[in-house]
Structure 1
Amino acid sequence: MNINPIILSIPIYFLLIGIELIIQWVTKKKLYRLNDAVTNISCGITQQLSGIFLKVLGVGAYVLVYNYLHIFEIPSTWYWFIVLFIGADFFYYWAHRMSHEINLFWGGHVVHHQSEDYNFSVALRQGSFQIIWTFFFYFPLAIIGFKPVDFVFVSALVTVYQFWIHTETINKMGWFELLFNTPSHHRVHHGRDPKYIDKNHAGVFIIWDKMFGTFQKEEEKPTYGITKPINSWNPVWVNLDHYAQMVKQWPQIKGANNKLKFLFNKPGWLPEELGGYQAPPEVDKTTYAKYNTQTPIRLNAYVLFQYVIALGITALFLFNYSKLDLVYQIGAVLSIMVTVVSAGALLDNKSWGYPIEISRLIIFLAIGVFIAFMFSINWLYFISVAYLILSIVVLPARTKSAELAK
């Protein structure tokens, strides 16, 4: 059972994204924007890459609790598998709910809600720091006696289930919605309208929201995103922005008691002298516009070209990283991270985007040539040089908007 359903499902994820793109083309309904979709997937990439080094929290801590505190030894049978699945989903509900209701925890989860679109790519948009604030919610399962390998597999299935509910192409589903989480239920969860905020936290079974008072049915179409839009395509910055805002506010908050409340109360909480709780504002749908940047078609094509290569390398790495030494793991992770950050900078029209991208291409050429020399891989010389030449040919000249952007 040493398989990860999340990693194995990657081809299915992109197949479904492809189907959704076909639906967009046929119906002429705008479901995807390149800049948003690329950022969503980049966040998924950064989360998977950082997870390689943070798995000591998600898995290691569970193993530790199980080894020293488990009461029973639950067998790996199909009926206990079902019990574990329900239990994992129950504790997911509480981990997810607290990620919305505790300001410090929200910083790890907010990334998933930043997109102002709603499609399958949003399911891949995950926060790199979320595991820091959620791993301990599952300890009761370890104490009861569910084996770590079974827990890892089942919790991954709970995650995989949630991919398909990130779409506007599926309407309400009748009786199925009485028990299970569906696209309609989860669209509510991604809405920034006050009536939809902090509702429908379920993973698989919507009954948890109905039992604990957080259920809201879908009525008018939600406005997606967060109350203070991130306005960036940088997958690293979107993980840091909430904490950067907290650091700015921290000196203004006086007293240890208020500082603790700022950390552990709902997002938007402030002491009375700073205005008190900042309730989510109503969305003025007559003036609301999604964050967007205008980039030339050729630049979009270039980013897409580099991104397809990065996705292939990322998938190859995720399937094989356990065979590599730590130094090579770190090198591969940094290379992929630089690529997705550079793509975001180009789509954001940042002035530093072009210098970073040119530097990245030259460094990648040097790495390719070095590896080819060290391991006598003759074909890698030609691949590295061809990659650099093709990239330079495809990369358009720097636009005026890019030169003026901050």
Structure 2
Amino acid sequence: MNINPIILSIPIYFLLIGVELVVQWITKKELYRLSDALTNISCGITQQLSGIFLKVLGVGAYVLVYEYFALFEVPSTWYTFIILFVGADFFYYWAHRMSHEINLFWGGHVVHHQSEDYNFSVALRQGSFQIIWTFFFYFPLAIIGFKPVDFVFVSALVTVYQFWIHTETIGKMGWFEIIFNTPSHHRVHHGRNPKYIDKNHAGVFIIWDKMFGTFQKEEEKPTYGITKPINSWNPVWVNFDHYYQMLKQLKEINGFKNKIKFLFYKPGWLPKELGGYQSAPEVDKSNYKKFDTPVNSILSYYVLFQYIMILGATALFLFNYTKLELPYQIATVLGIILTIVNAGALLERKSWAKRSEIIRVLLVVGVAAYAIIFFNFSYLFLIPVVVYFLISMLAMPYSTKLAV
């Protein structure tokens, strides 16, 4: 069973999302939009699923550095735990900061900033490729001699801490903000206003930003998102869009040296002949409008039903995937991703979404029935599969009639 604090905290995450939804209902403020929130959660799902196969970078590389280059063997005590926690947060700051200041690295992190809302679901919106550009920042901790198991646990705690700071429902927090990262500090970080861009990179301790010149206090309310909105509910495409745009621009850039600069300089850098550095534009709030694709309420309920099903399946898989052989892991991951991609297509009212949804439901039911029979589970497990099939097929015609 997976003992990763991030996975174990999932029920708490959704409990807090529920609390925030109650606050929305009471205050009548629009904190959540279904399409955006589900896409945020979908990105979290894809990041966790891809992490199963990319963990060799995040954990395996750390283990190798520790085994071959560790100068000491740091004992596991309460005080070394505190030192490791502070150290992990320090290197998180630099990994995070460079993910904003290097164009190639930004492609792995941009996903987290694409949402134009700001609520607890945004904390779950993570890029699947971010680990590729950040895992090596933590090598100094391995060289010092902090054990891999301790590092994995502590770095997960640094991540878990950051969930609660993704909200507009908590204002400024007085003395606490002097040392620690808070919702106010992090709202700045998610703002696309020029004065807020590339500020407040801290994970837990805001002191790093104050020490290294990247701190900005919250003044006017931020406009959230990225300077060129993604305008998509597809959780797979949003991970590739930045690299696709980079590839198109690389073809226009002449000279090997300029191409390298484009990859490793700040996002927005271009050679002089292409206009030079493209700074973030001011937000025209009078004309600004969030990306949205209104759908009928029946479709919303249908997609929400599918999400509840897939969240349960994802949680079950993440806790037990080590018991499965690689082919079954891959098949399950592909099935989950197919579900959330098609949900996004329904919300975008894609013309092909209804046909692919029928095929997807048939595949899910077929695979589930096969697994029950093949692994000799009780046939009673077929009852929820049949119920799922009937609900999906009966509701689909009504839910999709206004979605195409």
Give me the TM-score of the superposition, normalised by structure 2: 0.98
Kept after mapping to 1: 8 A contact 2:346/2:400:
no
Kept after mapping to 1: 8 A contact 2:2/2:320:
no
State whether structure 2 residue 295 is matched by structure 1 residue 295.
yes
| One-letter code aligned to 2:173 | M
Deviation at 1:382, TM superposition (A): 3.2
SS at match of 1:174: coil
Kept after mapping to 2: 8 A contact 1:293/1:347:
yes
State whether structure 2 residue 293 is matched by structure 1 residue 314.
no
Structure 1 Cα separation of the partners of residues 20 and 188 of structure 2: 20
Kept after mapping to 2: 8 A contact 1:70/1:143:
yes
| One-letter code aligned to 1:387 | Y
Seq. identity, %: 75
Kept after mapping to 1: 8 A contact 2:116/2:224:
yes
CA-to-partner distance for each residue in 1:306-354, whole Å, 9 max, x for gaps?
0000000101111111111111111111111001001100011111211
Deviation at 1:294, TM superposition (A): 1.0
CA-to-partner distance for each residue in 1:173-220, whole Å, 9 max, x for gaps?
000000000000000000000000000000000000000000000000
| One-letter code aligned to 1:163 | F
Deviation at 1:3, TM superposition (A): 2.5
**What is the aligned partner in structure 2 of residue 208 from structure 1?**
208
State whether structure 2 residue 70 is matched by structure 1 residue 70.
yes
SS at match of 1:79: helix
Unaligned runs of 5+ in 2: none
CA-to-partner distance for each residue in 1:260-314, whole Å, 9 max, x for gaps?
0000000011111111111000000011000000111000000000000000010
**What is the aligned partner in structure 2 of residue 125 from structure 1?**
125
CA-to-partner distance for each residue in 1:66-104, whole Å, 9 max, x for gaps?
000000110000001000000000000000000000000
**What is the aligned partner in structure 2 of residue 32 from structure 1?**
32
**What is the aligned partner in structure 1 of residue 379 from structure 2?**
378
| One-letter code aligned to 1:190 | H
Deviation at 1:400, TM superposition (A): 6.9
Kept after mapping to 2: 8 A contact 1:162/1:204:
yes
Kept after mapping to 1: 8 A contact 2:296/2:402:
no
**What is the aligned partner in structure 1 of residue 246 from structure 2?**
246
Structure 1 Cα separation of the partners of residues 13 and 74 of structure 2: 32
Give me the TM-score of the superposition, normalised by structure 1: 0.97
Instruction: Decide whether aligned partners of structure 1 residues 2 and 375 sit closer, same or farther in structure 2, where only a CA change above 3 A counts.
Output: closer
Higher alpha-carbon deviation: 389-398 or 6-15: 389-398
**What is the aligned partner in structure 2 of residue 395 from structure 1?**
396
CA-to-partner distance for each residue in 1:83-139, whole Å, 9 max, x for gaps?
000000000000000000000000000000000000000000000000000000000
Superposed, which structure 2 residues align to 1:2-401 within 5 Å?
A: 3-376=3-376, 377-397=378-398
Kept after mapping to 1: 8 A contact 2:270/2:276:
yes
Structure 2 Cα separation of the partners of residues 51 and 124 of structure 1: 14
Deviation at 1:380, TM superposition (A): 3.3
Deviation at 1:379, TM superposition (A): 2.1
Higher alpha-carbon deviation: 327-336 or 381-390: 381-390
